[in-house]
Amino acid sequence: MRRLADKVAVITGAATGIGAATAKVFAQEGATVVCADVNEEEMNKTVDEIKSEGGNAMAFQLDVSSEESVTSFAEEIKKKFGVIDVLFNNAGVDEQGGKVHEYPVELFDRIIAVDLRGTFLCSKYLIPLMLENGGSIINTASMSGQAADLDRSGYNAAKGGIINFTKAMAIDYARHGIRVNSLSPGTIETPLIDDLVGSKQDKMGEKFREANKWITPMGRLGRPEEMAAVALFLASDDSSYVTGEDITADGGIMAYTWPGKMLIEEEEWKKGTE
């Protein structure tokens, strides 16, 4: 349908995972995709793949936590395009840090700097390129911004902040024709998950994925392409009357209050995950 024909879309954290999958989908839908990431090597692979399939994309190395890096990036985008239509603030990091009294200050600061401050900086300096024509902003939050995780309070704080920051921006810019929504993924098969718990080939990674079959009503981890489809909806005119919302795509995890019965009724529940 080419729902993003002639649009300019900026995606941060575009090297791998959800960002890379979304860059490919946006390009397939007709957008010129600006891929930004600190991981230049992987980002270039994503851009090359998009180009090989006939899409239009370019790569910019960007540290979203650095105001200097973001302002320089915004200036380059302004020179090249003048305006943008879509901003997907997707860059983020995560790491377990222990209980709050044990949590390293430098880790807390880093997660807040990349996830929350990065969303703020990219919005602050790229929104001026959307004021004339309007557009759509998507911020990657998380189900971890709606409920808490053991030993990951920094990530919980950052992602919870993004959800409410999204609502604030939606109010600020609704009369400017800019829609702002957040996307809260559940557990998705990405390099970030591999780093946190291990890959499918690792014993701990396999154990983690097996556990998710029990606690996720849909019985599996999500795929980056599934998140990209939600981002496409939010970026396109299909969501023209949607702003200030947090869209949860987590396989049903946030729909229940207690997973105990799933674990107790082993035979009946597990049949649906195999």
- Which long-range contacts does 121-124 make (Cβ < 8 Å, 24+ apart)? 121/64, 121/65, 121/66, 121/67, 121/70, 122/10, 122/12, 122/64, 122/70, 122/87, 122/89, 122/91, 123/87, 123/89, 123/169, 124/70
**56-61 and 86-89 strand pairing:** unpaired
Alpha-carbon span 16 to 10, nearest angstrom: 15
In this model, does residue 274 exceed pLDDT 90?
no
Structure tokens at 2: 């080419």
Q: What is the mean pLDDT of residues 42-50?
A: 97
Can you name the CATH fold of 8-198+221-259?
A: Rossmann fold (3.40.50)
In this model, does residue 92 exceed pLDDT 80?
yes
Spatial CB neighbours of 72, under 8 Å, sequence gap ≥ 6: none
Give the residue numbers marked as catalytic: 155
Q: In the chain, where are the structural domains located?
A: 8-198+221-259
In this model, does residue 160 exceed pLDDT 90?
yes
Structure tokens at 44: 């270039």
In this model, does residue 191 exceed pLDDT 90?
no
Residue 115: pLDDT band (50, 70, 90) is very high
In this model, does residue 246 exceed pLDDT 80?
yes
| Mean pLDDT of the residues in the chain | 94
Q: How many residues does the chain have?
A: 274
Q: Give the rounded percent of residues in the chain with a pLDDT score beyond 70.
A: 97
pTM: 0.94
